[in-house]
Amino acid sequence: MSGIMLLIGAIILFLIAYTAYGGWLAKQWGLDIKRETPAHTMYDGIDYAPAKAPVLLGHHFASIAGAGPINGPIQAAVFGWVPVALWIVIGSIFFGAAHDFGSLIASLRHKGKSIGDIIEVNVGMTGKRLFLLFSWLTLVLIVAAFANIVADTFVSTPQAATASLLFIPLAVAFGFAVYRRNASLTVSTVIGVIILALCIVIGYYAPLSLAKTTWIFILSIYIIAASVMPVWILLQPRDYLNSFLLYGMMIGGIVGILLYNPNIQLPAFTSFKVGTQYLFPMLFVTVACGAISGFHSLVASGTTAKQLDREGDAKLIGYGSMLIEGVLATIAIITAAYLAKDKFAALMKGGPTNVFADGLGTFMTSFGLNFTIGKTFAALAVSAFAMTTLDTATRLGRFAFQEFFENISEAGEKGHVGSPAAKFFGDRFVASLITVAASVILAFTSWKVIWPIFGAANQLLAAIALLAVAAWLANAGKNNSMLIIPMIFMFAVTLTALGFLIKANAATGNYLLVVFAVLLFILAILLIIQTYGVLTGKNKKTTVGM
């Protein structure tokens, strides 16, 4: 089979889904283009700040993409390329995009608040506390995994390290020019992208080589700063400018595949059991962001909902971004599937990013780009994906930690009131430091050890987010049937996967991860019990966001 057919077929299905299914969901959930968004009604200039649709699309897409849609499909290719491709297309359309879009709309109807607050309103305070603890533990795993991946990438590709560091002052200058000097977005973007390209060139000729441990400490300082600074000065402009790097990589990959015309050589299907892993549940956990990811719900309800300028942008950003990610995941599986089995195994020794960068470097030779430059560019773009996920995840971890310690005063005011502990742990600097410190401890293990449990926790988070949105829709008297099957399937996948991982990590003596897995498993079961009454109509709430 030709890689072109696989790619074009997936893109056509995604376009049809965006128009038909995305439009239907918008009507079912009551999207109102005239309604004022929390970015305006709750504006504070730090977390709540309206952003133009292209900027927010760039931030959202760069944050949710991470390395998941690249690493996951390539790792899962050991089961054969057909089940991976099917899960990418079906999962992106009916699971992931509906999950992201629903989380964004639900957050808009709750003042741009997180999934935790949505659970508080629609289920109760106990449910919120359980969810915040669950999501914070998951975010600690995400920060640890991505800090490890970025540090590994900087060690193996020091050109990417130099360029990534140069992107930071560029993002600050861009944010200051656009939001404090009212510079034209178009002009600033053109200048920003040109300087972005110069950063890559400088990185190519002046690679910065440091030890992995040093990089982890440097990254820790960076993500703490990115977590507490106003969103418009670093996080938002950095993600926006990085998104052009990512779009450029995807365009290069698509054009390269069309001209190179790779033939798929990997087996369509290998076996239900490969080594010690079973296709169910591990394929659905491993592909992660390429089909559905709980982290997306935290981004949608954490940073994106607070920056959405118009409700009319919600479909493009909430539903559309996930489909773009589906295209990226399809490109990723083609970079693995066009290889012969022995070459795939050889390249996998350098990790899935190596397979992806090698494939894109090869495809882009079809329009005259040097293989080494193409491969370096792809590796740099992947590190940019991972770093944007890293800094956003840290900020979201800070949000979850702070929200956990929120109280309600006697006057009915909600915030960090009532006790010195609530004020201390509600401080954004303290919350960021504790989140990063917990992550760094885990980051010194290999990402290969963290990834399976991160994948299970992340997908379980998706199931819980679907549960929360379904509960809101039930309380609001709206149709939630489109979320029930994805929710049940994801609970079945992830609870089964966690059971396997508890057994595997206990057998190898990795008790820290066993504790994480057991906690996540118990918290998920408790949340299901808490929410069951709302979904069945026995404990229906009446004061919910409509």
Higher pLDDT, 236 or 229: 229
pLDDT of residue 542: 61
Task: Answer yes or no: is pLDDT of 54 > 80.
Answer: yes
Dump pLDDT digits (tens) for 360-386: 999 999 999 999 889 888 887 887 778
| 306 DSSP assignment | T
Say if CB 216 and CB 147 are below 8 A apart.
yes
| DSSP code string of 223-289 | HHHHHHS-TTTTHHHHHHHHHHHHHHHHHHHHHHHHHH-PBP-S-S---SEETTEEHHHHHHHHSGG
**pLDDT level of residue 188 (50, 70, 90 thresholds):** very high
pLDDT of residue 388: 82
Task: Answer yes or no: is pLDDT of 544 > 60.
Answer: no
Which whole number is the average pLDDT over 152-172?
A: 88
Angle at 455 between CA 491 and CA 447, to 5 degrees: 160
Say if CB 415 and CB 154 are below 8 A apart.
no
pLDDT of residue 546: 58
Which whole number is the average pLDDT over 126-153?
A: 88
Please report, as a single letter, which amino acid is at residue 149.
Answer: I
R_g over Cα of the chain? 22
410: which residues sit within 8 A by CB, 6+ positions away? Answer: none
Q: Is 16 helix (H, G, I), strand (E, B) or coil?
A: helix
pLDDT of residue 446: 67
CB half-sphere exposure, 93, CA atoms < 13 A: 19
Which whole number is the average pLDDT over 305-317?
A: 96
Among 101-105, 199-203, 483-487, whose mean pLDDT is lowest? 199-203
pLDDT of residue 184: 92
Dump pLDDT digits (tens) for 279-304: 999 999 888 788 999 989 999 998 89
Residue with tokens 């401890």: 441
Q: Is 409 helix (H, G, I), strand (E, B) or coil?
A: coil
Cα separation, 234 vs 238, in Å, equals: 6
Please report, as a single letter, which amino acid is at residue 286.
Answer: T
Task: Answer yes or no: is pLDDT of 543 > 60.
Answer: no
Higher pLDDT, 250 or 408: 250
Task: Answer yes or no: is pLDDT of 408 > 70.
Answer: no
160: which residues sit within 8 A by CB, 6+ positions away? Answer: 153, 154, 203, 376, 379, 380, 383, 384
Which whole number is the average pLDDT over 79-84?
A: 97
Q: Is 445 helix (H, G, I), strand (E, B) or coil?
A: coil
CA dihedral 329, 330, 332, 336 (to 10 degrees): 140
pLDDT of residue 447: 65
Task: Answer yes or no: is pLDDT of 413 > 70.
Answer: no
pLDDT of residue 414: 67
**Tokens standing for 490?**
């994801």
pLDDT of residue 56: 93
**pLDDT level of residue 418 (50, 70, 90 thresholds):** low
Q: How far is CA 365 from CA 131, 247, 256, in A?
A: 48, 18, 7
Dump pLDDT digits (tens) for 21-49: 999 999 999 999 999 999 999 999 888 99
CA dihedral 516, 517, 522, 527 (to 10 degrees): 90
Which whole number is the average pLDDT over 49-73?
A: 87
Say if CB 457 and CB 520 are below 8 A apart.
yes
> What is the percentage of the chain residues whose pLDDT exceeds 90?
59
Task: Answer yes or no: is pLDDT of 156 > 60.
Answer: yes
Angle at 239 between CA 236 and CA 245, to 5 degrees: 150
pLDDT of residue 289: 81
Higher pLDDT, 413 or 154: 154
Cα separation, 182 vs 510, in Å, equals: 53
Angle between helices 212-228 and 428-443 (to 10 degrees): 160
Q: 462, 470, 472: which is closest to 95 by C-alpha?
A: 462
Indicate left, alpha or beta for 31 from its phi (over 0: left) and psi (-120 to 50: alpha): beta
Q: How far is CA 542 from CA 116, 471, 473, 546, in A?
A: 18, 12, 11, 10
Residue with tokens 């390395």: 67
**pLDDT level of residue 79 (50, 70, 90 thresholds):** very high
Q: 463, 465, 471: which is closest to 490 by C-alpha?
A: 463
Say if CB 289 and CB 325 are below 8 A apart.
yes
| 538 DSSP assignment | T
Say if CB 115 and CB 300 are below 8 A apart.
no
**pLDDT level of residue 307 (50, 70, 90 thresholds):** very high
> What is the percentage of the chain residues whose pLDDT exceeds 70?
96
**Tokens standing for 206?**
């002046």
**pLDDT level of residue 545 (50, 70, 90 thresholds):** low
Which whole number is the average pLDDT over 478-503?
A: 94
Q: How far is CA 180 from CA 16, 175, 187, 309, 478, in A?
A: 40, 8, 15, 18, 41
Cα separation, 486 vs 482, in Å, equals: 8
* Architecture of the domain made up of 1-407+418-534: Up-down Bundle (1.20)
**Tokens standing for 283?**
């394929």
pLDDT of residue 257: 97
Handedness of CA 471, 395, 142, 247 (dihedral sign): positive
**Tokens standing for 403?**
């929200």
Report the length, in residues, of the chain. Answer: 546
73: which residues sit within 8 A by CB, 6+ positions away? Answer: 84, 88, 287, 290, 329, 330, 332, 333, 336
Mean pLDDT score of the chain, rounded to an integer? 90
pLDDT of residue 411: 63
